[in-house]
Amino acid sequence: MVRTPLTPEERERGERLGLLLREARGGRSMTEIAASAGISAETLRKIETGRAPTPAFFTVAALARVLDLSMDELAGLCALAPA
C-alpha cells in the first residue's frame, strides 16, 4: 500500500507540534520523557524534529499526559491559521 504524500500544511502542522512538545519538555531529557510516555527516544526525536509529522493519536496523548499538556490546547495550537 502506497502512502499518500503529506501536504505542505500537514508538514507545517507536524513541525508546529514538534516545536510545542520540545518547548514543553524544557530541560528534561528526551530519554526521560520518551520512557515516561512509553515510546522510544528516537520516536520522540522524529516527532520533535518534524520527521514524523503525523504521529499516532495515542502517542501524542501519552506525550501530552507526561508533559502536562491539554490535548485541546495542543490541537488548537497546531491548527492551521485561516487563509
Q: Which pLDDT score, from 0 to 100, does residue 78 have?
A: 84
Residue 52, CA distances (Å) to 11, 60, 82, 83 in order: 9, 12, 24, 25
- Kindly report the pTM of this predicted structure: 0.87
Domains and their CATH numbers in the chain: 8-78 (1.10.260.40)
| Contact predicate 50/15, CB 8 Å | yes
3-class DSSP state of 58 = helix
Query: Cα 62 to the chain's mean position, in Å?
Result: 10
Averaged pLDDT for residues 33-57: 95
Q: Which pLDDT score, from 0 to 100, does residue 24 have?
A: 95
| Tens digit of each residue's pLDDT (9 = 90 or more) over 49-58 | 999 989 999 9
| Tens digit of each residue's pLDDT (9 = 90 or more) over 62-74 | 999 999 999 998 8
| Contact predicate 35/49, CB 8 Å | no
Asked whether residue 83 carries a pLDDT value surpassing 70, the answer given is no
CA distance linking residue 40 with residue 43, whole number of Å:
5
